[in-house]
Structure 1
């Protein structure tokens, strides 16, 4: 019986990463790509706090590489993730359903603990509206913003 329980637990732990790997299977092309430091067009400062971003609307031009400097002035851990609204909603839903989602890394996301400041460098390759949000459970509804990418 102990051997069966051990095998079952091992199989469970091996399948957890597979269950969450779907978030990495889409192409970031619709939102851009990680930017090159040498191509930074400008820097935009963003403040993250309970439960807002300031500013929550940003205008950029297609092709621009932006250095976002994000400072968590709140008392809780926050994230800033750039993506389509659809993917942000899916990501927030996955985080609500699994505590293991809190420590993953994506090139379009940063994690900030209270008092921390980090940068995210992103090149906006497509015109349109891109979103940013904190997908942490309980934060997503209020901590969202829009990035309007103006066509060249």
Structure 2
């Protein structure tokens, strides 16, 4: 990582703070036991099946995600602007070696010597994780779940923000009805 990328890194770490707040205009994470229904979504290489899901405002949905592709994929809830911001974080994670085509290296510390920190520093803000409550990574051949209570919102998508995947068409729409 070059010194020129440090401002971007600081910005990316700061943007992850919104996930900690748990405040999303389109709803909030929920417990699987609170779900009123389950929706199974297959993650293939550069597609979701189905690619459109209808939910009602106030409904709690348990998404059962099955990665039948050969690549690591993400299921992330948000609008196009949120996905664009998240894609920047995912690109940084890929550039740092935290994301490979088939897996996420969890809790991988950054090279502090590249950031002006002492080697061995315990600066936890310098750790990047993929732990947003509206998102889950699913390795090839694996399954995962995400449970969400939806509020009224428009322009909501589910997408894979791994570099290049969204642009290749790995995005679906969430239609929220009253």
The verdict on a shared fold, with TM-score over 0.5 as the criterion, is yes
1:13-51 CA-partner distances (Å, limit 9, x unpaired): x98863422322446431210013332110000000110
Hey, what does 1:95 align to over in structure 2? 90
Count how many residue pairs are aligned between Structure 1 and Structure 2: 141
2:51 is the counterpart of 1:56: yes
2:63 is the counterpart of 1:41: no
Hey, what does 1:22 align to over in structure 2? 14
Q: Secondary structure of the residue that 1:104 maps to in structure 2?
A: coil
Q: 5+ residue gaps in structure 1?
A: 1-10
Hey, what does 1:3 align to over in structure 2? none
Q: Between Structure 1 and Structure 2, which shows a larger proportion of helix residues?
A: 1
2:81 is the counterpart of 1:86: yes
1:2-22 CA-partner distances (Å, limit 9, x unpaired): xxxxxxxxx99x988634223
CA RMSD of aligned residues (A): 2.5
Q: Which has the higher contact order (CA 8 A, sep 6+)?
A: 2
Moved over 4 A (4+): 14-17, 100-103
Kept after mapping to 1: 8 A contact 2:9/2:92:
no
- Matched residues in 1 for 2:40 and 2:33: separation? 19
- Matched residues in 2 for 1:137 and 1:17: separation? 16
2:176 is the counterpart of 1:149: yes
Hey, what does 1:70 align to over in structure 2? 65
2:98 is the counterpart of 1:106: no
Larger radius of gyration: 1
Kept after mapping to 1: 8 A contact 2:156/2:174:
yes
Q: Secondary structure of the residue that 1:88 maps to in structure 2?
A: helix
Shift of 1:98: 4.5
Cα separation, partners in 2 of 1:137 and 1:69, compared to 1, 3 Å:
same
- Matched residues in 1 for 2:155 and 2:82: separation? 13
- Matched residues in 2 for 1:125 and 1:61: separation? 8
